[in-house]
Structure 1
Amino acid sequence: MAKTNPLEFIQQVRSETSKVTWPTRRETVITTVMVFLMVAFATVFFFLADLGLKAGVAFVLGIGS
């Protein structure tokens, strides 16, 4: 494997970085909001699933709560 000197490495990194298609601010904001919404929905879903399982186990074991 050939060694690359630091200056050449930095030039290669800059060259590759210029090829990247960066998201717009709007795309970034929309994606961030969607992530937060999905986290909120998952939180509610698992909370309700936990309550349901807790009630089911309590019923099967005859534990009143």
Structure 2
Amino acid sequence: MADNTPKDAKAPAKTRTSPGEFIRQVRSETAKVVWPTREETVRTAIFVFIMVVILSLFFLGVDSLFGAVVTWLLGLI
């Protein structure tokens, strides 16, 4: 594709924001965030905990299996 932007085009100059203005902008943007309800947060936390337990048990089984296979293979030597 052809690049139609001029080679000597400069980015717009960045203006410096005062700390007070920055805090006002942060508060304004934070007010726009749709925060999850307590119920959604608890449900998600429980789901994450259950998945961590399931995957931990899975990887424990895989690791034990590989360990047994390696021990068996080393026993053949």
TM-score w.r.t. length of structure 1: 0.87
Q: Which has the higher contact order (CA 8 A, sep 6+)?
A: 1
Counting aligned pairs with the same residue, the percent is: 51
In 2, Cα distance between equivalents of 1:60 and 1:6: 65
Structure 1 residue 8, shift from structure 2 partner: 1.2
Question: Structure 2 regions of 5+ residues with no counterpart?
Answer: 1-13
Structure 1: gaps (5+ residues):
none
Q: TM-score, normalised by structure 2?
A: 0.75
Q: Which consecutive aligned stretches of 4+ in structure 1 deviate over 6 angstroms post-superposition?
A: none
What's the CA shift for 1:5?
A: 1.2
Matched with 1:10 is 23
Among candidates 27, 32, 38, match of residue 19 of structure 1: 32
1:32 aligns with 2:68: no
Distance 1:14 1:24 in 2: 20
| Structure of greater Rg | 2
